Amino acid sequence: MYRRRFAGKPFMRFTNKNVKYQYVSIVTVAFTLLTISISSSFAGEWLHDFQAAQKLAQDKDVPLLVHFHASWCGPCHQMEQTVLSTQTVKRVLGKRIIGVKIDSDQYPQLVDRFNIRSLPSDILLTPTGTIITRTDGMQQQNTYLSFLGRGASRYENDRRVYLAQKSKQELMVRQQQEKDAAEAEAVETEVREETTEKTYVASDPARIGLEGYSPIALTRDRKWTKGKEEYSWPYQGITYLLSTKTELEIFKIDPGRYAPQLLGCDPVILNKQDRAIPGDTKYGAYYDHNLYLFVDLESREEFKKNPDRFSRTMHVLKIEQVEGSVVR
């Protein structure tokens, strides 16, 4: 048995047992590091493949941020340096949002698909591809972060409402099935009765948004155009009427872009009093491409003084929480 000295200290001779334990230890550490690397490989990073990014967004069930740019676009380069590459923005990626950068020259099909008319442009999508919100042009960092925060919160809120409604609907279906089974057992086989198809409808009357005016015509053309029942579409418990079939198809793709925010409730009252009071179509205002309704002129003027405060109001509203018999 030999001992070597290195820098005045004995050098340990490894036996086979020592080597075995050390090998197992190295493998364990390597596996742990690999697991951590895989789980965090997309955190804080921009992707460049749309399909891969959408698949990741679906797996993580988070919104997909699509940033359109071009090599010849000056504002794109400026936004890349001052906004997209900052650690503050990157911290959002991989957690609440998956981000992908798309070169508009290399992917013209995506430019056409999302109707991109200027650069840079950003679109926030649900994992399945429905537009949540969008913004055009060069954005400052604070404005951009506000845009991302509102969009992500909107998706998270809608997701919670959807899951709650789905759970409630599944429970109602099971209860109805149990009731039907019990009634079927009680009916004697020799008794024949005429049956009619039953239609189950909500106990509440239909809620019509924007007093029946088309949200598409209002947002795109700033025109008060009455919609038609044949071109109706429900969104967040409210039915909106569109004036043409084309408007209906546009609304189906991205209803959140055209419907009033917060179920049409006054954001100022909601923020200050925690009450969901329907706004009036006479007192509407657009901010960050979104429509807000207010109960009166005074409330709208207060909103204009500090729109970021009131537009960032995070409430998971349900249609049953809206006060008053009229939903605008």
Among the listed residues 64, 76, 218, 248, the single catalytic one is 76
Residue 303 CB neighbour total at 10 angstroms: 21
Question: Does 279 reside within a domain?
Answer: yes
Contact 98, 42 (CB under 8 A): yes
Domain assignment present for 60 = yes
Amino acid at 215: P
Q: In the listed set 107, 137, 154, which residue is the last one of a domain according to the structure? A: 154
Both 233 and 314 in one domain: the answer is yes
Low pLDDT (below 50) residues in the chain: 1-40, 188-205, 325-328
- Assigned domain for 30 exists: no
- Residue 89: inside a domain, yes or no? yes
CATH number (domain holding residue 86): 3.40.30.10
Task: With 0.85 as the threshold, say if the pTM is over it.
Answer: no
Rounded distance between C-alpha atoms, residue 37 and residue 217, angstroms = 49
Domain check: are 245 and 143 in the same one? no
Q: Which of 138, 146, 131, 40 is nearest to 94 (CA)?
A: 40
Dihedral over Cα of 227, 232, 234, 237: its sign: positive
Using a CB cutoff of 8 Å and minimum separation of 24, what contacts does 310-313 make?
Answer: 310/267, 310/268, 310/271, 311/150, 311/261, 311/267, 311/287, 312/146, 312/149, 312/150, 313/262, 313/267, 313/270, 313/271
Which of 246, 261, 228 minimizes the C-alpha distance to 328? Answer: 261
Beta strands in 147-289 (DSSP E): 228-235, 238-242, 280-287
In this structure, what is the dihedral angle of CA atoms 287, 293, 296, 298, given to the nearest 10 degrees? -20
Residue percentage of the chain with pLDDT more than 70: 73
Q: What are phi and psi of 223, to 5 degrees?
A: -120, 140
In this structure, the answer to whether residues 149 and 230 fall within a common structural domain is: no
Structural domain of 136: 46-154
Same domain, 233 and 317: yes
Domain final position from 154, 175, 193:
154
pLDDT in tens, 179-224: 777 666 655 444 344 444 333 223 334 589 999 999 999 988 888 9
Query: Tell me: the pLDDT tens digits for 8-36?
Result: 433 334 344 444 444 444 444 443 443 33
| Catalytic-role residue among 73, 100, 250, 327 | 73
In a domain, 37, yes or no: no
Q: Would you say residue 142 lies in a domain?
A: yes
Residues 140 and 57 in one domain: yes
Residue 19 included in any domain: no
Contact in structure between 42 and 65 (CB atoms under 8 Å): no
- Asked whether residue 145 is domain-assigned, the answer is yes
Q: Please report, as a single letter, which amino acid is at residue 251.
A: F
Q: Clarify whether 76 is annotated catalytic.
A: yes
Number of domains in the chain: 2
Q: Which of 154, 176, 191 is the last residue of a domain?
A: 154
Shared domain for 64 and 145, answered yes or no, is yes
CA 165 to chain centroid, in Å, comes to 17
Q: Does residue 214 sit in helix, strand or coil?
A: coil
Q: What is the pLDDT of residue 81?
A: 95
Shared domain check, 238 and 145: no
Q: Would you call 265 a catalytic residue per the annotation?
A: no
